[in-house]
Structure 1
Amino acid sequence: MARTFIHPEGTVQPAVPLSHGVRKGNILQVAGQVAFDQQGEVVGTTVAEQTRQVLANVKRVLEAGGASFDDVVMFRAYLTDVAHFGEFNEAYAEVLGSDFPARTTVYVGLPPGLLVEIDALAVVD
């Protein structure tokens, strides 16, 4: 079974060696997305603003791979500061609504100006 490499139309190619997503069969893995707009500029200075942009980027990759948030079984979220956890959760719930996928949240260092990164694993029916 061949892999399909996902690069949403109109999105800047990553500056590092990776694909935005990879689909093999009914499995779609979305690479970690950060708060870049389609021109590669950072959107937002707060965790809430960046979380909304990151989830919009995840959604764009999911859709380019034939999936949606409803197909996501797992998110992994990476935050730069434990103090951002509450604000992150509020924005996350605002975008996703209810019936949340499984999620792991860890704290990491990200490049300057970036506060959150999220990757996703989807199983497409």
Structure 2
Amino acid sequence: MIRQNISSGAVWEDLVGYSRAVRIGNIVEVAGTTATEGDEVIGKGDAYAQTTYALQKIEKALLQAGATLQDVIRTRIFVTDISQWEAVGRAHGEVFQSIKPATTMVQVSALINPELLVEIEATAIIG
């Protein structure tokens, strides 16, 4: 099968050696995605805004891979403060209310930047 690596252009991709998303066959895996644009954190202090922005970035990567949000079967949500679960869940629900992928939300001790509150991964299978 042909492998398609999708880049977001982030400087970290070459430094760390990863792709924003990878498609092999009809499967697309989207890497952990945060609310960053270059070195800037979008929605500082706002878990809802960060979740919304990360999901927009995920959708863009999916589209580049030939998938849509409708193809998402699983998301994984990492938060630095589980007490913010309702704000994160609300943003996730606004995108996935009718799709309803399997999902997991867990608290982690930290993300790569202390201003980041949320990181999200996604798996899609193109029908």
Q: Contact conserved, 2:70 with 2:99, CA < 8 A, in 1?
A: no
- Equivalents in 2 of 1:113, 1:58: separation in Å? 20
- Equivalents in 2 of 1:74, 1:95: separation in Å? 13
Q: 2:116 aligns with which of 89, 106, 114?
A: 114
- Equivalents in 1 of 2:117, 2:77: separation in Å? 11
Question: So what's the TM-score if we normalise by structure 1?
Answer: 0.90
SS of residue in 2 equivalent to 1:113: coil
Q: Report what 2:7 is aligned to.
A: 7
Shift in Å at residue 74 of structure 1? 0.3
Question: What is the CA RMSD across the aligned residues, in angstroms?
Answer: 1.4
Taking the TM superposition and a 5 Å limit, the aligned residue runs for 1:8-23 are: 8=8, 11-14=9-12, 15-23=15-23
CA offsets per residue over residues 69-115 of structure 1, 9 Å max, x none? 10000000101011111111111112333231110111112121000
Greater percentage in helix: 2
Q: Report what 2:41 is aligned to.
A: 42
SS of residue in 1 equivalent to 2:36: coil
- Equivalents in 2 of 1:16, 1:68: separation in Å? 26
Q: Report what 1:123 is aligned to.
A: 125
Whether 1:84 aligns to 2:101 is no
Indicate the percent of aligned positions where both proteins have the same amino acid.
Answer: 38
- Equivalents in 1 of 2:100, 2:4: separation in Å? 26
Query: Which AA in structure 2 matches 1:123?
Result: I
- Equivalents in 2 of 1:40, 1:124: separation in Å? 32
Structure 2 alignment gaps of length 5 or more: none
- Equivalents in 2 of 1:121, 1:35: separation in Å? 18
Shift in Å at residue 52 of structure 1? 0.5
Taking the TM superposition and a 5 Å limit, the aligned residue runs for 1:48-59 are: 48-59=48-59
Number of aligned residue pairs: give it.
Answer: 122
CA offsets per residue over residues 13-62 of structure 1, 9 Å max, x none? 4352211011100010000100012x342100200010000000100110
Query: Which AA in structure 1 matches 2:10?
Result: V
